[in-house]
Amino acid sequence: MTWFRATSEEQPRLLVAAPADQTASALLPLLLEGGFRLQRVTDGRSVFEEASKFQPDLILLDERLPDLSATDVSHALATGRTGFTAPVLLVTAQSPTAKERIGPVRAGARDWIGPWIDPDTLRELCQAHVDASREAEHGGAANLVDLTTNLYSWQGLVRRARELGALATRQHQALACLVFALKTRDDSAPRLSDAAVTCAQEAQKIVRLCDAVGRPGNSEFAVVAPATTADGAVGLAVRLAAPLRAIAANQLGRIPDQIQLQAGYEAVANFAYDPVDPATLLLRAGTALRTGAAEPQRLWLRRFADRDKA
């Protein structure tokens, strides 16, 4: 199953702003192969008019627009000054350094993409942002916490992640996001979703009170952990693994060895110096679950692989 699958079957709409000879234009064939519906403009000013007509789920801005800076366009969209908002990804030929990320992300851009990300991951990231955008649009009135399970919904988890991200920025602290997936060897066990809920509720008892636990998918659950570095995220995942596998095995009538608990994570060491939308951290953790780099001797645990570590 695709993490954060869009609630609508409508073809995802991407608005791309890029001159013909720039990096974003080179990505268009890859996105067309991914099933996206594309609308292209060649300068920054055209983004605002076209966005109101095309109603994109996601906007891609080449970093080298001929008239306006991509940072200024991102800020105008993020603050709603144009009367329309949509998540924005900046496109660059090479992976940016941590220092280069700061200005555009603070201005409202969600993340950076480019040909330095492999095609499958590129399409996955764009789809994840589309899904999150649609969830926010269609589920704005939904409860932030499911009263039956006492777990955050996707909307609630994103809101709490952004609150924790704001605090991390002010206090120069780290922030980590982890996504766990529960599977069986044959992937056919009944009540897998119920078992995932039970595991998430147990995780809520084990993690700190400041950590947020929610459910982004039927057999998945996520943890947003403030003041937690990458090493801390690994430690948390390891601490949760054994008890959660035992709980799932008991509920599903299996032995622990028949249960697979997989996890993906991403972390920022200092949010003041390396800002990113916390929703993007969640999306990266979900992507890492499927395509990330496995931790040595822990093949079930993966970190988002394409993020610049400079």
Given 79, 108, 138, the domain boundary residue is 138
Question: Given this model, what pLDDT does residue 268 score?
Answer: 94
Q: What is the mean pLDDT of residues 79-107?
A: 80
Given 138, 173, 203, the domain boundary residue is 138
Same domain (yes/no): 180, 236: yes
pTM here? 0.67
pLDDT > 90: what percent of the chain?
38
Kindly report the average pLDDT of the chain as a whole number. 84
CB 180 within 8 A of CB 215: no
Q: What is the mean pLDDT of residues 114-140?
A: 81
Question: What CATH number does the domain containing 94 carry?
Answer: 3.40.50.2300
Inside any domain, residue 100? yes
Reported as a single tens digit per residue, the pLDDT across 24-68 is 778 888 888 888 999 999 999 899 888 878 889 899 999 999 999
CB burial class (10 A; 0-12, 13-18, 19+) of residue 83? exposed
CA angle 297, 240, 278 (to 5 degrees): 90
Reported as a single tens digit per residue, the pLDDT across 278-295 is 888 888 998 899 889 999
Question: Given this model, what pLDDT does residue 97 score?
Answer: 86
Same domain (yes/no): 149, 133: no
Same domain (yes/no): 221, 297: yes
Question: Given this model, what pLDDT does residue 33 score?
Answer: 86
Same domain (yes/no): 101, 44: yes
Please give the residue range of the domain that contains residue 113.
13-138
Q: How many domains, in total, are found in the chain?
A: 2
Given 90, 121, 138, the domain boundary residue is 138
Same domain (yes/no): 72, 130: yes
How many other β-carbons are positioned within 10 Å of the β-carbon of residue 140?
A: 8
Question: What CATH number does the domain containing 295 carry?
Answer: 3.30.70.270
